[in-house]
Amino acid sequence: MTLDWRLVLAVALGGAAGSVARYLVSFWFVQPTPEAQIPYAILTVNVVGSFLIGLVFALDSASVLSDTVRVGVAVGVLGGFTTFSSFSFDTLRLLQLGHARSALFNVALNVLLCLLAVWLGWLLGAALTSSRAGTP
């Protein structure tokens, strides 16, 4: 197997874009503080990222995306955008601050909403590509 440098470039550019987008989302929400109960910026990024990866892979399964777009978006943009490590740290921080119920609620929200989002993204992608089945 030969390394395709176009895919490497797509991941690099996508990763930069996704990381910047994640950074900007943090300005739209109050940052977690000892008084904060749920880190909503990270929750939003994880849910949106889950939705988008569901959409990308549904479109990919219908052969709508090129390898460069699929890898650039799924690995690059969404890899830079989604923040599971930040989610884990924020949850640990809530636990360390004595907010065990908020930490558990944060875990439940992230897991359930991200699973729902990836499913909805998949459904949207399948619906968008189902009309292509009858197209020559």
8-24: pLDDT as tens digits:
999 999 999 999 999 99
Q: What is the pLDDT at residue 130?
A: 85
87-131: pLDDT as tens digits:
888 889 899 999 999 999 999 999 999 999 999 999 999 999 986
49-74: pLDDT as tens digits:
999 999 998 998 889 999 999 999 99
- Of 134, 112, 41, residue with least CA distance to 81: 41
Q: What is the pLDDT at residue 73?
A: 94
